[in-house]
Amino acid sequence: MRLEGVELRHISMPLVAPFRTSFGTQTVRELVLLRVVTDEGEGWGECVAMPDPLYSSEYVEGCMDVLRRFLIPALAAAGPLDAHAVAGTLLPFKGHRMAKAALEMGVLDAELRAAGRSFGQELGATRDRVPCGVSVGIMDSVPALLDAVGGYLDEGYVRIKLKIEPGWDVEPVRAVRERFGDEVLLQVDANTAYTLADAEHLARLDPFDLLLIEQPLEEEDVLGHADLAKLIGTPVCLDESITSAQSAVAAIRLGACAIVNIKPGRVGGYLEAVRIHDACVEAGVAVWCGGMLETGLGRAANVALAALPGFTLPGDTSGSGRYYRADVTDPFVLDDGHLTVPTGPGLGVAPLPDALAEVTTATEWVPV
Ligand code: OSB
Ligand code: MG
């Protein structure tokens, strides 16, 4: 299979409701999609970076720059395409994992479509559907939060994740427990908003029997998470800090996390995501599939990944309608709290031309 070029498609999709985290508020999801064109057909990659480097150092325009300037030319120069060789080919370029992940995803999709194999088969999915959680943003008031959580529970979501930050943590958690009971699977995500000096405060979450607290401290503070884990009862889960299988193994050995959030974009691709899964299974550490407000393309691949046996906790693999009024693919719709793993070749879904055109703000052809 030979690379003929890559189309970078900048898209902008309104969210059904503002999504507020400790690092900012999104009202629109702007991202770049990659159409990887080969002599044997095409494949789609989704770059999960956001427009501003607030979640991590990557951002949309930076990803587009590194793709067109370095990553795509290096891949073209490496000879015949092989999805399993993409990461190695791109290894000389430091960082830029979301950009690399998007390119690898597009190549893998093209390869699997041509071979008639699905992402689920390729990654090692062992289930045909996955239970779904939902990530609930910071709200203006506790009543507004309870309305939102109640709505998601009515839709069938099997796990609730509350975004937290200083000033919005113990009270919203207490309110959700009081209203919806102790049976609800509940966890929180701080997106690095705390410091180790907040340990005593975070221990006030202990009575609420949370599944986990996700990334309370800054990305590079792995030892801080190990210290914090000894001071609070809630299990610590890492998101931002885990950028590879190597960093996952190190964090686990240091006692910095008891659970790992796996996001393929953050770790350089779906194949590295599988290696993290394998390492965590080996270490007896539970994993779950994170999300980055993906379109139906990234969602299809995430659902396939979440069907691997080590994904024992529900992921942020919500239905399309939690994010978008109109997805770029046929929508993913919850069935009894679950999403079905696509079985068609490659991602098993493709952009609907009209829906894609509707949200496309710029298209750039990168020849090779
Ligand atoms: O930290 O998990 C996160 C969204 C964007 C960036 C970071 C995060 C999130 C979410 C939403 O929590 C996950 C989703 O539903 O896609
Ligand atoms: Mg997170």
**345 found inside a domain:** no
- Give the span between the Cα atoms of 22 and 95, in whole angstroms: 24
Examine the domain organization and report whether 75 and 145 are in the same domain: no
Structural domain of 84: 3-116+350-367
**Which ligand number lies closest to the CA of residue 292?**
1
> Closest Cα partner for 231 from 264, 255, 263, 252?
255
310, amino acid identity = G
Q: What angle do CA 117, 277, 208 make, to 5 degrees?
A: 125
Q: Give yes or no for residue 318 CB within 6 A of ligand 1.
A: yes
- Give the span between the Cα atoms of 179 and 144, in whole angstroms: 13
Q: Give yes or no for residue 135 CB within 6 A of ligand 1.
A: yes
**244 found inside a domain:** yes
- Give the span between the Cα atoms of 44 and 94, in whole angstroms: 23
Examine the domain organization and report whether 140 and 236 are in the same domain: yes
Residue 200's DSSP bridge partners are none
82, amino acid identity = D
Residues in the chain: 368
- Please state whether the predicted TM-score (pTM) of the whole model is above 0.85: yes
Q: Regarding beta strands 360-367 and 3-21, do their DSSP bridges make them parallel or antiparallel, or are they unpaired?
A: antiparallel
Q: What's the 222 CA to ligand 1 centre distance in angstroms?
A: 20
Examine the domain organization and report whether 86 and 197 are in the same domain: no
Q: Is the four-CA dihedral 232, 237, 238, 239 of positive or negative sign?
A: negative
Examine the domain organization and report whether 86 and 223 are in the same domain: no
Examine the domain organization and report whether 39 and 163 are in the same domain: no
Q: Looking at the 3D structure of the chain, how many domains does it have?
A: 2
- Give the span between the Cα atoms of 227 and 59, in whole angstroms: 31
User: What is the residue-level pLDDT of the chain in tens, covering all 368 positions?
Assistant: 999 999 999 999 999 999 999 999 999 999 999 999 999 999 999 999 999 999 999 999 999 999 999 999 999 999 999 999 999 999 999 999 999 999 999 999 999 999 999 999 999 999 999 999 999 999 999 999 999 999 999 999 999 999 999 999 999 999 999 999 999 999 999 999 999 999 999 999 999 999 999 999 999 999 999 999 999 999 999 999 999 999 999 999 999 999 999 999 999 999 999 999 999 999 999 999 999 999 999 999 999 999 999 999 999 999 999 999 999 999 999 999 999 999 999 999 999 999 999 999 999 999 99
Q: What's the 198 CA to ligand 2 centre distance in angstroms?
A: 18
304, amino acid identity = A
**74 found inside a domain:** yes
Active site residue 100: no
